[in-house]
Amino acid sequence: MSKQFDVLVIGGGPGGYVAAIRAAQLGFATACCESNPYADPKGEPRLGGTCLNVGCIPSKALLHTSHLFEEAGHTFAAQGIQVGTPKIDVSKMIGRKSTIVNQLTSGIKGLFKKNKVSLLNGHGSFVGATANGGWQVKVGDEVVEAKQVIIATGSKARHLPNIPVDNKIVCDNVGALDIDAVPKKLAIIGAGVIGLEMGSVWRRLGAEVTILEAMPDFLSVADVDVAKEAAKLFTKQGLNIQTGVKIGEVKVLKKGVSIAYADKDGKEQKLDADRLIVSVGRIPNTDGLHAEAVGLQLTERGQVNVDGHCRTNLPGVWAVGDVVSGPMLAHKAMEEGVMVAELMAGQAGHCNFDTIPWVIYTSPEIAWVGKTEQQLKADGIAYKAGKIPFMANGRALGMDAPAGFVKMLACAETDRILGVHIIGANASELISEGVVAMEFGAASEDLARICHAHPTLSEAVHEAALACDKRPLHF
Ligand code: FAD
Ligand code: NAI
């Protein structure tokens, strides 16, 4: 007889493993299957998906090391610290990153044991419906049955036609996190989140980095002021970012790669580099799910089609994370996973898609929540803005981090906070205050009346709230 579960989760990334843990906590007999594409020394399934294996966690580990390297080389001396010229041992840096990945991926196995989630090794694909309204799913060589299924199969890097990725010379996110020596010249196609983060890592370590971006505007997803400031700061750091380009032929040579492209004026250009990273977005993983076998609806973009509560068109089948619409972010996937488990248990599962924070872990960091100024203008919403530079913040000066600002946008009529945009040190942590405020429907006046510790970077958030009412105290 087939193994029977209340809930089967397909995919063990942040969306899937969190959904499985929450479902088990709520008393469901839960299993999670993982197709295990990441090399594991023992051939066991590695949990954590893109995020832990080839995404969030390894990239942040490399960003940290390269940031320290840059500080040691460029800012220590001005503070009276003499360390000489720092040298980077790339294999040690990559080894440290891999240790963190291993620690966290095996940690999730521990969480599965603790919460009694059964881990199944193998690719999951639909077989059909069961007689009692559940689903049969093939996992590896066996068919298991579950009353409810959560699809959390994530995404993979989008590749460009005629640019084969070997993850040695031409890399997507997988190879980009395992480069074994600092390239003299690094080319990147796509000035999005990965391009900027990985470009920052290798520039800090000494590579000459050129980023080729198709869109005419730089970082158009961010608030317009933030994007402008970021372009200025990143260019000053030495990142060569070219917007409005059209990529032509890419030739892989014996040692390196040659990229032909038309620049923003339409002039033919050629860029030679030792390595190329292609970071032009990601596509949902629905290959081999056998969606068609059960009539599971996909969108035109290949995502699993869901409603605002992650329900698919099939009863008892849900989908969360990168495989459905919305931002491809780990915390969004996790929120959806929890929501679905709670809805299955008859609880009021909830995910507020208006307060999902975005962070780009460059230096300075960029973070935002809510609407950008250009969105408010386009939507015809009257707003007021408060903007405070970190230059006016004592803690930022003490930290040698005067770059950037906090910008708060509030409704002109009700004062309700509509967006918070930060470019500056620790923006990734500071943005939480904006998220909490917006979740509670706060007005800028609410934040303005809350005591913020001194001296902290969070005082810039406080001052931005005061500035919405044109009464900042320190600027
Ligand atoms: P995934 O993490 O992709 O996991 C899906 C899992 O399902 C995979 O393990 C896959 O092997 C498995 N699977 C697929 N098909 C099947 C099948 N049929 N059967 C069984 N298993 C299957 N997000 C952030 O929020 N912050 C960051 O800092 C950040 N940094 C990133 C850096 C990089 C370089 C990249 C590439 C992404 C980054 N992301 C970041 C995005 C984040 O990794 C994803 O949004 C997140 O991993 C999505 O989670 P998921 O569970 O939906 O999918
Ligand atoms: P992205 O969507 O952030 O950026 C892709 C960029 O490539 C865009 O600017 C796009 O205009 C450009 N582009 C597309 N086609 C092109 C072409 N043919 N030529 C030149 N440029 C082209 O995608 P990216 O950087 O690949 O990252 C994928 C996703 O992973 C992100 O959108 C995000 O959801 C997630 N991620 C999140 C991180 C974070 O939260 N800090 C870090 C890294 C990734």
From the centroid of its chain, how far is CA 311? 23
Closest CA to 415 of 337, 365, 338, 468: 468
From the centroid of its chain, how far is CA 223? 17
Whether 391 is in the pocket of ligand 2, judged by its Cβ within 6 Å, is no
Predicted pLDDT of residue 335? 98
410 CA to centre of ligand 1 in angstroms: 34
Closest CA to 51 of 337, 366, 291: 337
Shortest-distance ligand to the CA of residue 35: 1
The tens-digit pLDDT sequence of the chain (475 residues) is: 789 999 999 999 999 999 999 999 999 999 999 997 776 777 778 999 999 999 999 999 999 999 999 999 999 999 999 999 999 999 999 999 999 999 999 999 999 999 999 999 999 999 999 999 999 999 999 999 999 999 999 999 999 999 999 999 999 999 999 999 999 999 999 999 999 999 999 999 999 999 999 999 999 999 999 999 999 999 999 999 999 999 999 999 988 999 999 999 999 999 999 999 999 999 999 999 999 999 999 999 999 999 999 999 999 999 999 999 999 999 999 999 999 999 999 999 999 999 999 999 999 999 999 999 999 999 999 999 999 999 999 999 999 999 999 999 999 999 999 999 999 999 999 999 999 999 999 999 999 999 999 999 999 999 999 999 999 999 9
Q: In what order do the strands lie in the sheet with 256-262?
A: 246-253, 256-262, 268-273
Q: Is 454 a catalytic residue?
A: yes
Distance CA 432, CA 414 (A): 22
| CATH no., domain 170-280 | 3.50.50.60
**474 backbone dihedrals φ, ψ, rounded to 5°:** -120, 25
- Are residues 395 and 429 in contact, defined by beta-carbon separation less than 8 angstroms? no
CATH 3.30.390.30 spans which residues of the chain? 355-467
- Most informative mutation of 57, 60, 193, 211 for ligand 2 (most atoms within 8 A of CB): 193
Ranges of H-type helices in 373-457: 373-379, 394-398, 427-439, 444-448
Measured from CB, residues less than 6 Å from any atom of ligand 1 are: 10-16, 33-35, 37, 49-51, 55-56, 59, 123-124, 152-155, 173, 194, 285, 288-289, 321-323, 328-331, 333
CATH 3.50.50.60 spans which residues of the chain? 4-156+283-351, 170-280
Distance CA 106, CA 291 (A): 30
- Are residues 370 and 438 in contact, defined by beta-carbon separation less than 8 angstroms? yes
Atom of ligand 1 minimally distant from the CA of 176: 34
Atom of ligand 2 minimally distant from the CA of 245: 20
| Cα pseudo-dihedral 427, 432, 434, 440, rounded to 10 | 180
125 CA to centre of ligand 1 in angstroms: 18
User: How many CA atoms within 13 Å lie on the side-chain side of 261?
Assistant: 23
| CATH no., domain 4-156+283-351 | 3.50.50.60
pTM summary value: 0.98
Shortest-distance ligand to the CA of residue 366: 2
- Are residues 409 and 419 in contact, defined by beta-carbon separation less than 8 angstroms? yes
Q: Which two tokens stand for residue 50?
A: 């893109």
Strands 268-273 and 256-262: antiparallel
SS3 assignment, position 352: coil
Distance CA 234, CA 212 (A): 14
SS3 assignment, position 162: coil
Predicted pLDDT of residue 43? 75
Distance CA 182, CA 209 (A): 11
Strands 208-212 and 240-242: parallel
Q: Which residues contact 268 (CB under 8 A, 6 or more apart)?
A: 248, 260, 261, 262
Query: Residue length, the chain?
Result: 475
Closest CA to 409 of 399, 401, 417, 398: 417
Quickly name the fold that domain 355-467 has. Answer: Enolase-like; domain 1 (3.30.390)
SS3 assignment, position 171: strand
Q: Which two tokens stand for residue 440?
A: 């509670």
- For residue 421, the one-letter residue type is H
Predicted pLDDT of residue 44? 78
User: How many CA atoms within 13 Å lie on the side-chain side of 204?
Assistant: 26
Predicted pLDDT of residue 38? 77
Query: Ligand 1, atom 1: nearest CA belongs to which residue?
Result: 154
